[in-house]
Chain A
Amino acid sequence: MELFQYPYMQRALIGALVIGLAAPALGIYLVQRRLALIGDGVGHVALTGVGAGLLLNRSPVLVAVIVATLGAIAIELVRARGRTSGDLALALLFYGGIAGGVLLVGLSDATSTNLNAYLFGSLTTIQVSDLITIAVLGAAILFTMVALRPALFAVSHDEEYARVSGLPVRTLNLLIAVTTAVTVTIAMRAVGVLLISALMVVPVATAQQVTRGFRSTMTAAMALGFFAAGAGVWVAATADTPPGASVVLVAIASFLVVAVAGGVWRALRRRATPTAALAPEPHEVVLH
Chain B
Amino acid sequence: MSAPVITVEHGAVGYDGRPVLRDVSLTVTAGEVVAVLGANGSGKSTLIRAVLGLVPLSAGSVTLFDRPLRRFRQWERIGYVPQRLGAGGGVPATVREVVASGRLARRGVLRPPGAADRAAVDAALRSVGLADRASDPVATLSGGQQQRTLIARALAGQPELLVLDEPTAGVDAASQEAFAGALRDFVTDGGTVLLVAHELGPLRPVISRAIVVHQGGICHDGTVPDPAGHHAEPDHDHVHPHGPDEPAGLWSN
Q: Which A residues form the contact surface with B (CB < 8 A)?
A: 28, 31-36, 147-148, 150-151, 153-154, 156-158, 160-168, 172, 204, 208, 211-215, 217, 281-288
Would A157 and B109 be within 8 Å (CB), given that A164-B80, A285-B250 are in contact? no
Is B104 a contact of A163 with CB atoms below 8 Å? no
Q: Is the CB of A285 within 8 A of B170?
A: yes
**Residues B100 and A32 in contact, CB atoms below 8 Å apart:** no
Residues of A within 8 A of B136 (CB): 212
Known: A150-B104, A160-B82, A165-B105. 15 other contacts (CB 8 A): A33-B89, A34-B88, A153-B101, A157-B86, A157-B88, A158-B86, A163-B54, A164-B52, A166-B75, A166-B76, A167-B104, A167-B105, A214-B92, A286-B237, A287-B239
CB-nearest residue of chain A relative to B163?
A164
Q: Given contacts A161-B153, A208-B92, A281-B142, is CB(A148)–CB(B137) below 8 Å?
A: no
**What residues make up the interface of B, taking CB atoms closer than 8 Å to A?**
52-54, 73-76, 78, 80, 82, 85-86, 88-94, 96-98, 100-105, 109-110, 112-113, 135-137, 142-144, 153, 157, 163, 170-174, 237, 239-240, 250-251, 253
User: Contact at B89–A31, with CB atoms within 8 Å?
Assistant: yes
A151 near B104 (CB under 8 angstroms)?
yes
Closest to A210 in B: B92
Given A160-B82, A166-B73, check contact A285 B251 (CB 8 Å).
Answer: yes
- Identify A172's interface contact among B97, B105, B109, CB under 8 A: B109
Chain A residues with CB under 8 A of B92: 208, 211-214, 217
Does A217 lie within 8 Å of B251, measured CB to CB? no
Q: Which residues does chain B contribute within 8 Å of A211, judged by CB atoms? A: 92
Complexed CA–CA distance, A28 and B240 (Å): 38
Residues of A with C-beta under 8 A to B105: 165-167
Cβ-closest 4 pairs across A and B: A166-B75, A213-B94, A165-B105, A164-B80
* Neighbouring B residues of A32 by C-beta, 8 Å: 88-91
Q: How far is the CB of A82 from chain B (nearest CB, A)?
A: 12
Question: Are A214 and B85 in touch, CB under 8 angstroms?
Answer: no
A-B contact pairs, 27 of them (CB 8 A): A28-B91, A31-B91, A32-B91, A150-B103, A153-B101, A154-B101, A154-B104, A158-B82, A161-B101, A161-B153, A162-B101, A163-B53, A164-B52, A164-B78, A166-B73, A167-B104, A168-B109, A204-B91, A208-B92, A212-B92, A212-B136, A213-B97, A214-B94, A217-B91, A281-B172, A287-B240, A288-B237
